[in-house]
Structure 1
């Protein structure tokens, strides 16, 4: 007799998912102190937080791979929330970094296309959060570029144009948006401590992003129950009565 036959297995647990889709700033977000790791910790036993960050990618490539990450017709493929976080590579200067550069008009079209695709696979705009690229600290990033044998290949004013375009897409499509570019520079503050190398987030930058993202995610997951009972609530004599129910507490 199998264990399931002996105990009478309950229904499979469907773990809700939050999907993080973006470039290296998303890929690195599960490192110690990362904003994705903080989100996963906050949602433990409520949601699986999936990191689908792809270092160096732009929206042209992201648009192509998104259908490989989410498909229609499966509950497992319908996240309760999804972040779309691109622009740091799209905004690279064409003359210095033509492989990653995406023209501003195409960046807008690609973001719109991804939101429209998500709608087509039953992920409504109310579950989507767009995130603008963070500001660029040119002095620090130029040092990184020179160390790699190339010229400064990004400018903060250009990144700002892509951030503004991301905001417009969010307004037009009805999604939430986190304007990281503006928030990090609010009131003319020095934003360099938020960045580790002028482009990617430092521990302080990760904490900053998480603190502003969490309220947007929380309203999408606040009604989700804790999966499986708190240990003190498990029936001692017949634990299967507690553990083989619907999965909530």
Structure 2
């Protein structure tokens, strides 16, 4: 009765992937695709960084059996520009942490997909933080820092020969922006060349994803599975328990065959 599992491991963007966003939610979409084949397990932790992740993942793997596939999606909080003393993880340590998470997954024979951090809108972010009583006078993060962390995660994924989802560049290319245009985004500048509403396509509050972003992430996850782990494609997995038409009415134990 124990299903094989697909683990979504990350921060708040993973935690919130079960919430409907403009008619779409990532985790239910994956569960629908893998129904009766893999259970989709959400282990997203709002506000957590890769430093916290390396403490948590061993405990998760102790308590959850039969994990076959997982996403590793950290970096958004790690790259915050020192706005508090708990979230920021310096770039070299961030790389070490991602390396550790991939290595641990491999040691348990779990296939992994690394997801890099995406884009940032400081004005929306500051409004979001202010609603929670947090006041800042500088950009909490910036797109250049996020790019550097994304590139670092990509480098580690390449070292381990595991697939990487480059959301930073995928989102950028979707809108036709240049890196330099995104680097300019700051509360210190009155006008951004990408437009005041440009990042709202992808970000609901300057950090977290819209339904459009989750759709993109969903499609990229499926693409990476198809290309790198075809044995774990939904079409290549058998359903758990017999199809109802194959059940022998005189022997209901045939359900399990």
Matched, 1:215 2:248: no
Structure 2: distance between partners of 1:185 and 1:47: 32
Whether the aligned pair in 1 keeps the contact of 2:242 and 2:256 (CA below 8 Å) is no
Give a deviation string over 1:3-29, Cα, whole Å, max 9, x none.
xxxxxxxxxx44111011100011111
Structure 1: distance between partners of 2:19 and 2:119: 21
How far 1:87 sits from its partner (Å)?
0.4
Give a deviation string over 1:18-54, Cα, whole Å, max 9, x none.
0111000111111222212211111111101100111
How many corresponding residue pairs? 225
Matched position secondary structure for 1:80: strand
Determine which of 167, 170, 177 is the counterpart of 1:183.
170
Q: Which residue of 1 is the match for residue 5 of structure 2?
A: 17
Determine which of 130, 143, 160 is the counterpart of 1:173.
160
Structure 2: distance between partners of 1:98 and 1:239: 62
Structure 1: distance between partners of 2:225 and 2:65: 18
Structure 2: distance between partners of 1:217 and 1:122: 15
Q: Which residue of 1 is the match for residue 134 of structure 2?
A: 149
Q: How does 1:192-207 map to 2 (within 5 A)?
A: 192-207=200-215
Q: Which residue of 2 is the match for residue 233 of structure 1?
A: 246
Report the TM-score when normalising by structure 2: 0.81
Q: Which residue of 2 is the match for residue 26 of structure 1?
A: 14
Structure 2: distance between partners of 1:15 and 1:172: 31
Q: Aligned-pair RMSD on alpha carbons? A: 1.9
Structure 2: distance between partners of 1:224 and 1:158: 40
Larger Rg: 1
Identify if the C-alpha distance between structure 1 residues 29 and 220 changes in structure 2 by more than 3 Å, giving closer, same or farther: farther
Give a deviation string over 1:71-124, Cα, whole Å, max 9, x none.
3xx9x6342211000001000011x2332100001000011111122223333x
Structure 1: distance between partners of 2:122 and 2:143: 7
Identify if the C-alpha distance between structure 1 residues 134 and 230 changes in structure 2 by more than 3 Å, giving closer, same or farther: same
Determine which of 101, 105, 115 is the counterpart of 1:131.
115
Q: Which residue of 1 is the match for residue 147 of structure 2?
A: 160
Report the TM-score when normalising by structure 1: 0.84
Q: How does 1:60-79 map to 2 (within 5 A)?
A: 60-71=51-62, 77-79=65-67
Whether the aligned pair in 1 keeps the contact of 2:68 and 2:109 (CA below 8 Å) is no
Structure 2: distance between partners of 1:22 and 1:209: 13
